[in-house]
Amino acid sequence: MHPLLRRLGATTLVGCVAAVGLVGTAAPASAATGAPTLPGTVVVNEIESDGGTPGDWIELANTTSAPVDVSGLVLKDNDDTHAFTLPAGTTLPALGFLVVDESTDPATGLSFGLGKADSVRLFDADGTTLLDSYSWTSAAATTYGRLPDRTGAFGVTPASSRGTANAAATTPTPTDPGTTPAPTPAPAPAPAPAPVATTLRINEVESNGDDTDWVELTNVGSTAVDVSGWSFLDGDDSHAKYVLPAGSTVAPGGFFVIDQAQGVRPGFDFGLGGADSARVYDTSGALALTYSWTEHSLVSYGRCPDGTGEFATTTTSTKGAANDCSSPVRLNEVESSGGTPGDWVELTTVGATPVDVSGFVLRDSDDTHRYVLPTGSVIQPGGFLVLDELTATTPAGFDFGLGGADSVRLFARDGVTLVDSYAWTQHAAVTWGRSPDGTGDVTGTLEATKGSANIAAGTVLTQPWPGGPDELPLDDEATFTGDLSGLDYEPSGTSADGTLWAVQNGDGLLYRIVSDGAGGWAPATDSGWSAGKALRYPDGTGRVDAEGVTVTGDSSDGGVYVSSERNNAASSVSRPSVLRYDVAAAGSATTLVATQEWNLAADFPGLGANAGLEGVTWVPDAWLTERGFVDESTGTAYDPAAHPGHGDGLFFVGVEGTASVYAYALSTDGSAERVATIATSFDLVADVQFDADLDALWVVCDEACSGRTALFDVDASGAFAEQVVYEAPLNADRGLANEGFAVADAATCTDGARQTFYADDADTDGFSLRAGTLPCEAPTAPTDPTTPVVPGTGAGAPGTGAGAGAGTGTGAGTVPAGTTPTRVAAAPTRAGALAYTGGADARLGAALAALLLLAGAGGVLVSRRRA
């Protein structure tokens, strides 16, 4: 990335080097103010990264009308080991410029070159507080510079203007009509348009769909900016721009959110991808703001400090508020009265990477009580770290107890910077703890869970995945190019592998995927199926945004049914539909025209065009009546005869925007009647799948819920109720965009397991189709967590506080994410505080319900669908 040979140069302040250090030009130098450097006071103004004179250089600018002492400020490229500190006595005059050159002498200039894809970062004298930055992916034909100087957005300048005001585009001098004009040379290729000057900045981006995708703007100027009529687009020019409504204004220092449409709320009707861009255009259509990323952030991407800092993964999502780039470490649970072996404090992290907390300082409410966390104290993402009170079995613990009216405070290594704290006025009956872990709202919990996830009343209890620990690629690399979505498994009727149906939403394709009998699966190559078949609406037009797929009665002979959010040829219009395709009659045709469409838009007024029907599955009437299912349209037991022409079962659709599942009777006359509304605990529904062998309905969430799945059954009231939630398989990537899920039938069981299938919409690492396993017999009954089961018996020293064991000192120094006890509390990312925990007895009902549900998986049903 950087030149191997550094070009000769010197560090200059455009003009001269004084004996006392660098001195600025432009305005007469005066005594430095000596005030701390504030973000926005000194900015990066122009950058030469490709062979300037005498080499690469960086120009800084003073945005104020007073001189600024810039001694000690630090310049870096994208490599933290490349750093240059401005010498003592360096003053930047009012509204002046300073140029730092590449140099062979590291004391006078940059000892590193700037690459064609690189960054320039300006830090305060502490070397960590980012004052300004700019990144690029290719060298500018001239330089990169702000237009206008100091406040404008970066763009490619018309000409280098080292140490002076940046050159603006000029209008050519008119030709004298009395002369013969010189031949006009062929124009050079036009560079990509530079963003227009504005005090607005893209400040935070949420692209992983925890609720909706959104982009936050902030205003670094001193006057409000009216953005009414401005427009927003992602990186796909085929999407229609979203125009900001009248009255949209960004106040100085304020925040403005451009949100995805949801329900009746307006917004943009496309999603933000894992590799995508956010682009904002002014009312003239000129590009004003842009930011790009190559993968989803596990939280969000945000500037720190707001408006001026470099983008980084935030600690918590702060939609419409100042960004949080603080330490991700949180106090998670506190035992202040009679723990085992004494009082203890549990830490966790809400970040995406391990955090070394060695040297952090723990105090209670008394400043003289001080405990320094030992070397090797590391918290893995989603893991836990327990700090014990000093006892005979924990000789290296903290040497103070926690009182009935007390507090716990965690400080950074300097002992001054507060990382997190919690205070209480009386002992908890059990413990104080966050629920969900690290971020949750105040709520009661069921029990103390030292070194493991908190369990609170009202939260969904999750179980480890009962099958194998892996999700392994099934398809050859680049078989699919992305957007693979819903799945359904059609049994063969024997112990042989069946057929896997899959849909791709971007191009509106249906795939028939078959097994080679040796563990490999690929699109069928006969009858025109090799590249999938294009799906059309009943009139033969459109491009169906195919999201879910199912067959009825375990057979595609009755048609393949596809759920869709919209027509991709009119992507801004919501069209939540179920469509039927006769694949048996299609022959070798590569285009399928729907024989029927059930458009459910009237049932979902205001539903966003990208928030519609994600999944679909078919459930036989015989199963529903046997379970005592109640029809919400009548309030009485479900009677199939009350819905003439609907066939032998109901279609259950999962809706992304409402995070719910709905059951419909779809009749041959094109009418649709809602029979059930099923709420879920998920942030969205990615797929639904009826499992006759398990006698349950699977509801699937994607990376927005860390790959969790849930099982639903009909409860005593006749309504579908969530019985158990499973974590993703232990070794699975919880960031996979698994929008499709299917389960092979029990007749295929091999070595006690049947296959599960996952469709990754993002085609991560070039693979879209993955497989795992599920036991053919009932999963093991949940362990009673009265004594938490904590994985790991590593070599952590007893009582050092670095172990995560249950007070015995035998826990390892770190606990990896995913290695939680048998029952844990689900942990969606939401803001919250420490909560009071309750007693332990309430846990038994939920565990028993899950056990009774899963017991039905022990035998293979003679008639799978009971059709």
Model confidence over 118-136: pLDDT tens digits? 889 998 888 888 888 888 7
Instruction: Please state the rounded mean pLDDT for residues 758-768.
Output: 90
The top-scoring range by mean pLDDT among 257-271, 290-304, 646-660 is 646-660
Give the residue with greater pLDDT, 498 vs 126. 498
pLDDT at 38: 64
Lowest mean pLDDT among 144-153, 593-602, 655-664, 820-829: 820-829
- Considering the entire predicted model, what is its pTM? 0.55
Q: What is the pLDDT of residues 184-200, one digit of tens each?
A: 444 444 444 556 678 99
Residue 333's DSSP bridge partners are 346, 433
Bigger pLDDT: 244 vs 812 = 244
* Residue 807 DSSP label: S
Say which residue, 8 or 566, is predicted with more confidence.
566
Task: Please give the residue that has the higher pLDDT: either 437 or 301.
Answer: 301
Alpha helices in 126-193 (DSSP H): none
* Weakest mean pLDDT among 265-279, 314-328, 817-831: 817-831
pLDDT of res. 855? 39
Half-sphere exposure in the Cβ direction for 622 (13 Å, CA): 8
Which pLDDT belongs to residue 508?
Answer: 93
Tell me what pLDDT residue 331 has: 93
Q: What is the pLDDT of residues 363-410, one digit of tens each?
A: 999 999 999 999 999 998 778 999 999 999 999 899 999 999 999 999
Residue the block writes with tokens 């039927």: 580
Which 8-state DSSP code applies to residue 825?
A: E
Which pLDDT does position 140 carry in this prediction?
A: 84
Residue pointed to by tokens 């199939």: 640
Burial category of 171 from C-beta neighbours within 10 Å (exposed 0-12, middle 13-18, buried 19 and up): exposed
Number of neighbouring beta carbons within 10 Å of residue 106: 14
* Segment 216-243, tens digit of pLDDT: 999 999 999 999 999 999 999 889 999 9
pLDDT, position 73: 92
Whether the per-residue pLDDT at 359 is higher than 70: the answer is: yes
Tell me what pLDDT residue 341 has: 93
What pLDDT is attached to residue 718?
96
In order of 454, 464, 835, 867, the CA distances from 445 in angstroms are: 7, 20, 8, 43
| Residue tagged 């700019």 (tokens) | 134
**Paired tokens of 160:** 């280098």
SS3 746: helix
Q: What is the DSSP string of 327-390?
A: --EEEEEEE-SS-SSS-EEEEEE-SSS-EE-TT-EEE-SSTT--EEPPTT-EE-TT-EEEEEBP
Q: Determine contact, residues 799/809, Cβ cutoff 8 Å.
A: yes
Least Cα distance to 689 among 729, 745, 634 occurs for: 745
pLDDT over 50 at 485, yes or no: yes
Q: Which of 169, 168, 170, 200 is nearest to 282 (CA)?
A: 200
Give the model confidence (pLDDT) of 32-84 as tens digits.
333 446 667 899 999 998 877 778 999 999 988 788 889 999 999 988 888 99
pLDDT tens per residue across span 693-750: 999 999 999 887 889 999 999 999 999 999 899 999 989 988 888 999 999 999 999 9
- DSSP one-letter code for 23: B
Residue 442 pLDDT class (50, 70, 90 cuts): low
pLDDT for 704 equals 79
pLDDT of the residue at 460: 60
DSSP run (H or E) holding 42: strand 42-48
pLDDT for residue 193: 55
Residue 857, SS3? Answer: helix
pLDDT tens digits for range 309-349: 988 888 878 888 899 888 889 999 999 998 889 999 999 98
Q: What pLDDT is stored for residue 654 in this prediction? A: 96
List the structure tokens of 205. Answer: 């981006």
Any idea which residue has 């091999």 for tokens?
A: 750
Stretch 794-819: mean pLDDT: 30
The rounded mean pLDDT for the chain is 80
Cα–Cα distance between 767 and 733 in angstroms, integer?
Answer: 13
The mean pLDDT of 819-845, rounded to a whole number, is 33
The H-or-E segment that residue 758 falls in is strand 753-760
Per-residue confidence band for 686, with pLDDT thresholds at 50, 70 and 90:
very high
**Residue 8 φ/ψ, nearest 5 degrees:** -65, 135
The yes-or-no verdict on residue 183 having pLDDT over 60 is: no
Question: What distance in Å separates the CA atoms of residue 361 and residue 813, rounded to the nearest whole number?
Answer: 17
Q: If you ran DSSP here, which 8-state letter would residue 294 be given?
A: S
Backbone φ and ψ of 380, nearest 5°: -80, 160
700 vs 740: CA distance, rounded Å: 8
- Residues 235 and 215: their CA atoms lie apart, in Å, by 13
Which H, E and C letters describe 89-141, residue by residue?
CCEECCCCEEEEEECCCCCCCECCCCCCCEEEEEECCCCCCEEEEEEECCCCC
Side-chain half-sphere CA neighbours of 290 within 13 A: 20
The two beta strands, 472-473 and 769-775, are antiparallel
Closest CA to 305 of 289, 290, 325: 325
- Alpha-carbon distance of 276 to 526, in angstroms, equals 36
pLDDT for 441 equals: 67
What are the pLDDT digits (tens) for 765-790?
Answer: 889 999 999 998 755 444 443 333 33
- Measured CA to CA, the distance from residue 97 to residue 412 in angstroms comes to 37
- The number of CA neighbours under 13 Å toward the Cβ of 319 is 17
Among the listed residues 19, 2, 13, the one whose alpha carbon sits nearest the alpha carbon of residue 109: 13
Query: What percent of the chain is modeled with pLDDT above 70?
Result: 80
**Percent above pLDDT 90 for the chain:** 50
* 689 has a pLDDT exceeding 70: yes
Which residues, in sequence order, are CB contacts of 10 under 8 Å at separation 6+? 17, 54, 101, 103, 105, 108, 109
Residue 651 has pLDDT above 80, yes or no: yes
Report residue 112: phi and psi, to 5°.
-140, 155
pLDDT digits (tens, 9 = 90+) for 76-102: 998 888 899 999 989 888 889 999 998
How far, in Å, CA of 497 to CA of 474, rounded?
A: 14
pLDDT of 792 reads 28
Cis amide linkage into residue 644, ω under 30° from 0: no
- The average pLDDT across 438-464 equals 76
Average pLDDT over residues 682-694: 93
Question: Which tokens go with 337?
Answer: 């009265």
